[in-house]
Amino acid sequence: MKKSLVIMLVLVLVTSFSLYAGGKTEEAAMEVDNSVEVLHWWTSGGEAAALNVLKEDLEAKGIEWIDSPLAGGGGEQAMTVLRTRATANDAPAAAQMLGFDIIDWAELGFLANLNDVAEKENWDAVIPDALKKFSKYNGVWIAAPVNVHSTNWVWANKKICDELGIATPITSWVDYITALDKVQASGRIALAHGGQAWQDATIFDGVVIAAGGPEFYKASMIDLDPTALGSDTMLKAFGMMTQLRGYLDPNFSGRDWNLASAMVIEGQAAFQMMGDWAKGEFLNAGQVPGTDFVAFRTPGTQGTVTFNADQFVMFKVDESKRAAQEMLASAILSPSFQVAFNTVKGSVPARTDVSDAEFTIIGKAGMKELAEANKNGTLFGSMAHGHAAPAAVKNAVMDVVTSHFNGQYGDAEAVEKLVQAVANAQ
């Protein structure tokens, strides 16, 4: 008995030592590592197809792509995994990230310096300032922007609209409500939606602008001015959310956004209010823009664009992996990839010098509107997607919006809670 214990102990010591020694030799034989690990949450059909463009591009250049997909629309799971891995010193070469999260990571010193590539390829001149706010930190390039999405869109099933005599695009809130009423009266679901916090908040972006115009959006969502947050205009915005709530099917909570898109595609529902990533779903399902489906800005928000931009944030990696990482960064910003990717994904390029020849009508309109909004000062970061305020504030706003939208708060109560929540989160 005792003997066997001693033998076991010795065995344990020997194996652990040999494992340790084995690890050592592996480290000594380090060579240039031509692989990049990319962590992302693009798992739905349209998104995965778009990302494949980048993967194939890199594989053609001899770089091995290690895919780390983590499903979940807003990337919550992905961020959790990323944090654990960064703490364990095992960060991937690149990770998909949004807005203020990038700055949070940069502050902690986890991110790589991309200035060499950026200078060589002249990123400063071609990337819009609104994006640079997030891809540069203290003058150092830390991320490669992939695309610019905007959130204030409505997607409509053209056949249902034609059948019911609804003229598109709809440009005023009153017309929009009339149209929703018509659809509901016809026995279909008027508005396809998934009751997840980020989806509720995505609608809220557009509704705030429709209620109070671009200045109000800036004052309340970006400057977080307490008087704007507690104003009657905000009450109106929550009232509009309550209105929209009446057009959903009873089974909406927890539904993924792409399933809501599918409801519009299949003709079960007429409209969906979702960012322009929904276009990828429509195209992927073989729908033709203009004949099968149409898209227009959330009624009452024409001329204003609330954007969010996916970026690939580069983490500090071993010297051996630097070359592959820089190749990845450069590939992301190459004009050919920006066109190929964004035509599939439904977004618009993160570079301003890319031709719009290959884009659909909706894509061309999106690019033009983005450029105009940028010029007129009506291009704002989206609150729902972490481009208007830091994560703590964003989540505080989302809590209120989603609780209100799911019936926990009344309109006036929601305004009150919003002011409190934002103050507490700062």
Partner 1 sequence: MIAIRKWKITKDDLVARTVLFPTVALTMVFVYAFIIFTIYISFTNSKLMPSFGWVGLQNYIKLFKLDHWHIALKNMLIFSILYIGLSTIFGLLMAILIDLNKFSETFFRPIYLYPMAISFIVTGTAWKWFLDPGIGIERIMQQWGFTSFHFTWIKDSEFAIYTIVIAAIWQVSGYIMVIFLAGLRAIPHETIESAVVDGASVFTLYTKIVIPQLSAAFLSVFVILGHMAIKSYDLVVALTSGGPGRATELPSTFMYSYTFTRNQMGIGAASAVFMLAIFGIIIIPYLRHQIKADVE
299 within 8 A of 288, measured Cβ to Cβ: no
Note whether 371 binds partner 1 by CB under 8 A: no
Query: Given candidates 3, 5, 27, 28, which one binds partner 1 under the rule CB under 8 A?
Result: 5
Note whether 204 binds partner 1 by CB under 8 A: no
Note whether 14 binds partner 1 by CB under 8 A: no
Alpha helices in 29-164 (DSSP H): 45-60, 76-87, 100-107, 115-120, 123-126, 129-135, 158-163
- Give the range of 43-51, 130-138, 208-216, 248-256 binding partner 1 by CB under 8 A: 248-256
Query: Given candidates 143, 144, 179, 197, which one binds partner 1 under the rule CB under 8 A?
Result: 197
* Smallest gap from residue 101 Cβ to partner 1 (A): 8
Residue 386's closest CA among 212, 236, 156, 201? 201
Note whether 357 binds partner 1 by CB under 8 A: no
Query: Given candidates 65, 105, 271, 359, which one binds partner 1 under the rule CB under 8 A?
Result: 105
Note whether 417 binds partner 1 by CB under 8 A: yes
Please classify residue 411 by burial: count the beta carbons closer than 10 Å to its beta carbon, then call 0-12 exposed, 13-18 middle and 19+ buried. Answer: middle
Query: Given candidates 34, 52, 85, 104, which one binds partner 1 under the rule CB under 8 A?
Result: 104
- Give the range of 21-29, 37-45, 228-236, 414-422 binding partner 1 by CB under 8 A: 414-422
Note whether 395 binds partner 1 by CB under 8 A: yes
Q: Are strands 35-40 and 94-98 parallel, antiparallel or unpaired?
A: parallel
Residue 369 to residue 280: CA distance in whole angstroms: 19
Q: In this complex, which beta carbon is closest to partner 1, that of residue 139 or of residue 407?
A: 407
Query: Given candidates 49, 322, 390, 411, which one binds partner 1 under the rule CB under 8 A?
Result: 390
Q: In this complex, which beta carbon is closest to partner 1, that of residue 5 or of residue 357?
A: 5
Q: For residue 142, give Cα distances in angstroms to 24, 72, 132.
A: 31, 24, 10
CB atoms within 10 A of CB 114: 24
- How many CA atoms lie within 13 Å of 88's alpha carbon, on the beta-carbon side? 8
* Smallest gap from residue 53 Cβ to partner 1 (A): 29
Q: In this complex, which beta carbon is closest to partner 1, that of residue 1 or of residue 357?
A: 1
Residue 417 to residue 380: CA distance in whole angstroms: 24
Note whether 210 binds partner 1 by CB under 8 A: no
Note whether 405 binds partner 1 by CB under 8 A: yes
* Smallest gap from residue 176 Cβ to partner 1 (A): 24
Residues between 167 and 196 with contacts to partner 1, criterion CB under 8 A: 195-196
58 within 8 A of 81, measured Cβ to Cβ: no
Residue 65's closest CA among 97, 34, 30? 34
* Smallest gap from residue 299 Cβ to partner 1 (A): 25
Residue 296 to residue 68: CA distance in whole angstroms: 34
- The first and second tokens of residue 37, run together, are 């690990």
Instruction: State the SS3 of 168-202.
Output: CCCCCHHHHHHHHHHHHHCCCEEEECCECHHHHHH
* Smallest gap from residue 130 Cβ to partner 1 (A): 22
Q: In this complex, which beta carbon is closest to partner 1, that of residue 76 or of residue 356?
A: 76
Residue 307's closest CA among 384, 197, 414, 393? 384
Q: Whats the size of the chain, residue-wise?
A: 426
* Smallest gap from residue 333 Cβ to partner 1 (A): 26
Q: With CB under 8 A as the rule, give the number of residues binding partner 1.
A: 38
Burial 210-223 (b: 16+ CB within 10 A, else e): bbbbbebbbbbbee
* Smallest gap from residue 17 Cβ to partner 1 (A): 16
Rounded to 5°, the CA angle 342-206-409 comes to 130
* Smallest gap from residue 397 Cβ to partner 1 (A): 12
* Smallest gap from residue 194 Cβ to partner 1 (A): 11
* Smallest gap from residue 31 Cβ to partner 1 (A): 32
Residues between 23 and 82 with contacts to partner 1, criterion CB under 8 A: 76, 79-80
Binding site for partner 1 (CB under 8 A): 2, 5, 9, 76, 79-80, 83, 86-87, 101, 104-105, 108, 195-197, 250-254, 390-392, 395, 399, 402-408, 417, 420-421, 424-425
